[in-house]
Amino acid sequence: MLFNSKEFLLAFLPLTLVILYLLARADYHRLAVTWLVAACLFFYGWWNPPYLILLVLSILFNYTVGGILIRRRSDDDVKVRKFALILGIGGNLAALGYFKYFNFFVNNLNGLFSLSLSDKSIFLPLGISFFTFHQIAYLVDTYRQETTPVSLGHYALFVSFFPQLIAGPIVRFHEVMSRLTSSDAFKLDLEQLGAGITLLLLGMFKKVCLADGLSPYVTNVFHAANGPVALTFFESWGAALCYTLQIYFDFSGYSDMAIGMGLMMGVNLPINFNSPYKAVNFIDFWRRWHMSLSRFLRDYLYIPLGGNRKGKFRRYLNVMVTMLLGGLWHGANWTFVFWGGFHGLCIVINHAWHNLRAWLGWPVGQERRWGRALAQMLTFFFVVVAWVFFRAETFTAAERVLEGMAGINGMVLPSQILNLAPFLKHFISGQGTVPLLADGTVMGFIEMAILIGIGLSLVFWGRNLYEMSQSRRVYLLIPTFALAMQQIFFAANVSPFLYFRF
């Protein structure tokens, strides 16, 4: 069930909330938790009922391992606790590995050693990457004695809480558990409900109007790039920029909706995006993009690997390992690994540059305005280039798009546009139809260019929703609400969130 589907908005969400509020009002806390867990499992099972078993087994397994870690807290039980932690993390990674990476592994083995092992038709369970990470974090926190014992119901709710079950934000136990277990949890708070509804609606606008509006301009080019096509400059840049904006509006829209729905139930989920395209370098970018994942990778991978405590070389190595695995987490394809590695390399260069500046006596963070603007543009440029690898299905496809962006296949625009501005004919060739430029029509190209302009203005200069007051957010509903509803109730298609496949 998608957040932007009619059945979710008209039936599931209102029904879940009304019954939850009634139960909480009558002080039936346990019943309220049970109801919410049932609703969350229904939400998950709606998509593919058999995989509900996987989620339930995963919850039971981790709750049991967590229980051992909690019960064996004495110093004599260090070995048992270590074993339980390894078993727990191993179990989670094994499930993730099987469902997400089995075929990837087999195909690579076949390629490397000329084997003919057959792959399996495994359907990736929705949200497995997220609920696995949630639970690994829980086990590690429990091992570190940073969690408290909770009932199975509360634990199941922590994992399956439907606003964040499928695509995050990745929350930590202590961030939400105090709210989930408090006696006044789930009670109707009109202020919170209002704030939640506003975020839900604005997030929906980002997803269905901005991200989905840009989507067709991306799909046609990246699809064509799988075949022998010579993409031209504007076709490639159009698709790359549209994807850069699409993935941001899609995922940050989803996160806003999740945070909004959390608030409606009195749960504060962590912010996941903080205007990432305003970042002035890659370190800054990862403090702003998918913040809950960055935090997870930092706390549960980078720091345990040694972080920056073992010298510069180890620090850079740890960054690279973290980012390569972070890339692989996004999908079973070398293009994702490359994307992670590319970001890792940029972060390493970034650290090295900071070190060099410190050595030269140029303080970091005191750049002039134009220097910051230049840094922002440079960062954005490389982020866009990296997204090409993230979106492309193969390296060859990515290469074709990048060739186009580099202008190797020339610059071509529709002749009608050039006729309006003849001086451009000195640099740009005219063609009747440029098939992969937007939808191949002149008006389509202008629409795309303006949508990119609107999108870039928003991400570069606009304040994000969390920098605004609630009353300002409500004002934003006036230009956006009807457009979002139009997409949900009257547009031909409802598309899933991009991060659902991760």
Partner 1 sequence: MKTLRTIILACISSILIYLLVFTFLVKKPLTLGFIHEALQVRAAYVQANPGPKLVIIAASNGLFSYRAEVMEKILGLPCLNASTIGQFGLDIQIALGKKWLAPGDIVLMPLEYHSYALTNNEIENSDANGFIINYAPYLLRDLSWHRVLCVLFHYDLKYLISAVIEMGLAKAGISRRFSKATLTPQGDMRGHTESRGMEYRGYLSSLTQAGPSDELLYKRFQGEIVLENFLKWAKEHGILVIGTLPTVFNDRPISEKLIAKIASIYRSQGQEFLLLPNHSQYDRRCFFDTDYHLNEPSQIAHSQLIANYLKSRLRLAHEGN
- Residues at the interface with partner 1 (CB under 8 A): 190-191, 193-195, 197-198, 201, 209-210, 213, 415-416, 420, 430-435, 440, 443, 446-447, 450-451, 470-471, 474-475, 477-483, 485-487, 489-492
Any idea how long the chain is?
Answer: 502
Q: Which is nearer to partner 1, 97 or 216 (CB)?
A: 216
* Rounded distance between C-alpha atoms, residue 441 and residue 435, angstroms: 8
Instruction: Describe the crossing of helices 369-391 and 395-405 by its angle, rounded to 10 degrees.
Output: 140
Q: Find how far residue 415's CA is from the centre of its chain.
A: 39
Known active-site residue 29: no
Q: Which is nearer to partner 1, 194 or 462 (CB)?
A: 194
* Rounded distance between C-alpha atoms, residue 466 and residue 37, angstroms: 28
What is the nearest approach in angstroms of partner 1 to the Cβ of residue 445?
Answer: 11
Q: Which is nearer to partner 1, 371 or 453 (CB)?
A: 453
Q: Find how far residue 482's CA is from the centre of its chain.
A: 26
Q: Are 275 and 288 in contact (CB under 8 A)?
A: yes
Q: Which is nearer to partner 1, 108 or 416 (CB)?
A: 416
Contacts with 383 (C-beta within 8 Å, 6 or more apart), sequence order: 244, 277, 279, 285
Scan for tokens 């850079």, then name that residue.
316
| DSSP string across 133-167 | HHHHHHHHHHHTT------HHHHHHHHH-HHHHTT
What is the nearest approach in angstroms of partner 1 to the Cβ of residue 7?
Answer: 17
Q: Which is nearer to partner 1, 198 or 255 (CB)?
A: 198
Q: Which is nearer to partner 1, 34 or 431 (CB)?
A: 431
Q: Which is nearer to partner 1, 223 or 314 (CB)?
A: 223
* Rounded distance between C-alpha atoms, residue 151 and residue 437, angstroms: 56
* Rounded distance between C-alpha atoms, residue 129 and residue 92, angstroms: 10
Contacts with 91 (C-beta within 8 Å, 6 or more apart), sequence order: 61, 62, 65
Which contiguous run of DSSP H or E holds residue 314?
helix 311-330
* Rounded distance between C-alpha atoms, residue 79 and residue 185, angstroms: 37
Contacts with 441 (C-beta within 8 Å, 6 or more apart), sequence order: 433
Q: Are 222 and 397 in contact (CB under 8 A)?
A: yes
* Rounded distance between C-alpha atoms, residue 342 and residue 385, angstroms: 10
Active-site residue, from 290, 330, 343, 351: 330
The SS3 assignment for 98 reads: helix
Q: Which is nearer to partner 1, 252 or 322 (CB)?
A: 252
Q: Which is nearer to partner 1, 189 or 367 (CB)?
A: 189
Candidates 216, 260, 259; CA nearest to 451 is 216
* Rounded distance between C-alpha atoms, residue 199 and residue 339, angstroms: 30
Backbone angles phi, psi at 463, to 5 degrees: -80, 140
Q: Are 222 and 392 in contact (CB under 8 A)?
A: yes
What is the nearest approach in angstroms of partner 1 to the Cβ of residue 487?
Answer: 6
What is the nearest approach in angstroms of partner 1 to the Cβ of residue 404?
Answer: 16
DSSP 122: -
The β-bridge partners of 413 are: 430
Query: Which residues are marked as active site?
Result: 330
